[in-house]
Structure formats: structure tokens, C-alpha cells
Structure 1
Amino acid sequence: MEETIAGTEAAQIPQQRGESLQDTAVRYAEERHWDVFPGTWLDAVDGVQHCSCGDPACAVPGAHPARADWASVATGSATVARRLWAKQPAASILLPTGLTFDAIDVPETAGFLALARMRRMELTLGPVTCTPDRRMQFFVLPGAGVKVPDLVRRLGWPVASLDLDVLGEGAYVAAPPTRFGARGAVQWACRPTPANRWLPDVEELISPLAYACGREARR
């Protein structure tokens, strides 16, 4: 069952309910052919949730890799994914970038503004996540990191002035419904559907994203 949470004019954010982390991870591998790997999880101590990593000052409790060699654990096999989450059903769902997709990471306010512009421009969108730390990640074809600096400069924006990052090889994103401690869960601003199985190239989305981040920077 899906519950739709009102956002802005830009998007409605669907929230999955009644599905285990294991089932969701398996579905990402099986239906989207995304590599997945289990991250840390939340442990309750005296009624307070703490990250399984044991660091009381953890910046993203319950939503980061649990081991340094996480890239070697990532799998695109639904069978292996099911086995991994059977060992720790509460583990967060993390998706390595740079393989089947890169992610353009921007502030939430800029992301919703960019979504509104993209829809007016009738651009084809891939999945987009919205995180509890008020960031959004736009899924695009791999290789975006090489293209973005030149594309942004061509649009007239100083690259260093924009809060716009590319998550590619060696990085990862947290996938819904992973929780960030008490801050809430990652959700889909644009959920995966059969229509967006084929991802856009970053060149198609960079103009509204750069504009939105530039506007945010001027604030």
C-alpha cells in the first residue's frame, strides 16, 4: 500500500508501507537490476535509537556502510540480496553509484524547484530520492561526473558556487525506506516505474538543476 505525502507543486512523494527491508532490497535487484548492499541499522538503547556502528556522534545513524569493503558485498542478485538481509533484517538499503546509475545530489529546496521546471519542460525523469537530511538525488546515466563541470560552466555558472554534487564510482545512495535515525526515512520524490527504467543523461537535466542550485546559492 502506498501513502502519498503532499510536498510542493513539484512533487508528491509516495511512501511504501507494509514491505520489509529485505523484500524491498530484493525488488530493487530483481526489478530494477540495481546492485544493493546492506548498511548499518538502528539499535534501541533505553528507548533511544543509536547507529549499529557504535559511534554516538554518527552523522547518518543507520544509513551508511557497515564495513570498509562494502563495494565487494554489493550484489545484483535477488537471491544473494535475500540472504544478506536474512542475516540482518534491519540493515539499511544502500545502492552503489557509478554502475547502473549516477546520482546528482542537490539541496531539497533546489531539487523541488528543479522538478517543477523539468515537468514544465516535459523532460524525461529517472527516479529521484528525498532524504531526511533535506537532500535530493536525481538518478542519471553513469558518467555524469566527467560531464557536469563543463556543462555547468557552459551554462554560465561557476562550478564552485553551486551546491551540486555527482555521486559516481565509489559512492552510494540510501534507498527508501532506509531511516536516518530519528529524522525519518528516505522517500521517493519520483518513484521507480516501468516508464523511467531508461535513465536520462545528465545533459538533459543539468540546466534546471544548475538554475535551481544557483538560485538557492543567491539566497
Structure 2
Amino acid sequence: MPQQRGEPLLETAVRYAEERHWDVFPGTWLETAGGVQRCSCGDPVCAAPGAHPAHGDWATRATGSATAVRRMWQERPTASILLPTGRTFDAMSVPETTGFLALARMERMGAALGPVILTPERRMQFFVLPGACVKVPGLLRRLGWSSASLDLVPLGEGAYVAAPPTRYGSRGAVQWACRPTPANRWLPDVEELISPLAYACGRDR
């Protein structure tokens, strides 16, 4: 699903639901007041301006229905696009430098990759099959690492990721490091990626 530059958020959100069968929900958005961009949540020191849930019940609002998604963005065309983890995918979040090191290693290994997000907060999020959160601690122990020793954060049930082209205030937009394509529709299990991710995290400490 190639990303079109300047494509409306509504159309992008609908394509995520229709083509990838991902649940989607609208988050906050950016507002300009006095020439200054602020998050619609009203917090002047918001940690993720324009890129976090707008409602506490966001998990129940998330839907894979293209009709419902279209209706939600018609009501708020500038809302960020957020994807709940723990449903059709989990995500492994690592620092950006770690992520690029891991990507290079995975390419040499010929590892199968799913989509990978690059955030303005300089994090990379690797999409894997659901259930990664449960498996990661044991997998790391087998590799000789503890979860606390590496900046490797599994995002599963109860968490979410901001999807391209969502903007984080003045920091820039979320981007794809590896875009969703027909070739990566079938996601890897975290067991297939944990070794290069842990190795890269250990090197980047």
C-alpha cells in the first residue's frame, strides 16, 4: 500500500483498515493559536502533541470497519491515526540507532520483516505477531540478557502506535522505515527478530 504524499488522513486510515485489516482509532490533533501549534488536549507541555488518544475509552473505539473509520475522520479530519497493539500485531520498540543496526543485520540474515515505523521521538517499532510481550522476557533470558538491561520495549495489549503520516507537534511526522506491502502482509514471530534486536540493543548501550 504505497503512501501517497499529501494523501488525506481519512483516506490513509481507511486504507489501513481495508487493506491491512488493522484496527484504527483517531487520536488528538494539532491546533494553532497565536501562531503556536498545540495539542488539542489542551496541555501546554503535552509529551506527544497531536499523537495520543483523545479519549480514555480509545481501546473500545478502535475498529477495523472502513465505514466506521471514514465516519470518525469525517468528524475530525485532522485527527492523528493510532493503531492499537495486541490485536493484529504487537510492536517491538527500540532506539532509532539500534533499529538501523538491527535492520542491517536482519538484511544480512535474510530475515522476514513486517512493517517498521520510524517516529519523530527517534524510536523504531517493528511489527510482529501478537503475543510478543509474553514471549520476550524468556527469549531474552535464553540469549543471556535481562529485559531491564536493554532498551527493547514490547508493545502489546493496552498500548498503541502512531501511524504515518501522523505528526508529533513540531518534531515531524511518523514515517515508514519499511512500508506495508503485499510481501510483508504475513508478520514474523518475535522469535525470528529477537536475536538481531537484542544484539543491536547490546551494541548500542
TM-score norm. by structure 2 comes to 0.98
Q: Any gaps of 5 or more consecutive residues in structure 2?
A: none
Encode CA deviations 1:49-72: one digit per residue, 9 max, x unaligned.
Answer: 100000001000000000000011
Q: What number of residue pairs does the alignment pair up?
A: 204
Name the counterpart of 1:23.
11
> In the alignment, which of 97, 104, 126 is matched to residue 116 of structure 1?
104
Give runs of ≥4 in structure 1 deviating > 6 Å.
Answer: none
Name the counterpart of 1:54.
42
> In the alignment, which of 42, 45, 65 is matched to residue 77 of structure 1?
65
Q: CA RMSD in A?
A: 0.9
AA in 1 matched with 2:144 = G
Give 1 or 2: higher strand fraction.
1
- For the pair 1:202 / 2:190, whether they are aligned, the reply is yes
AA in 1 matched with 2:6 = G
Matches within 5 A, 1:3-152: 16-152=4-140
State the secondary structure of the residue aligned to 2:28.
coil
Name the counterpart of 1:213.
201
Q: Percent identity?
A: 78
CA distance in 1, matches of 2:118, 2:82: 14
State the secondary structure of the residue aligned to 1:98.
coil
CA contact (8 A) 1:16 1:177 kept: no
AA in 2 matched with 1:161 = S
TM-score norm. by structure 1 comes to 0.92
CA contact (8 A) 1:126 1:196 kept: yes
Q: Any gaps of 5 or more consecutive residues in structure 1?
A: 3-14
State the secondary structure of the residue aligned to 1:83.
helix
CA distance in 2, matches of 1:174, 1:30: 18
Encode CA deviations 1:33-92: one digit per residue, 9 max, x unaligned.
Answer: 000000000000111110000000100000000000001110101111000000000000
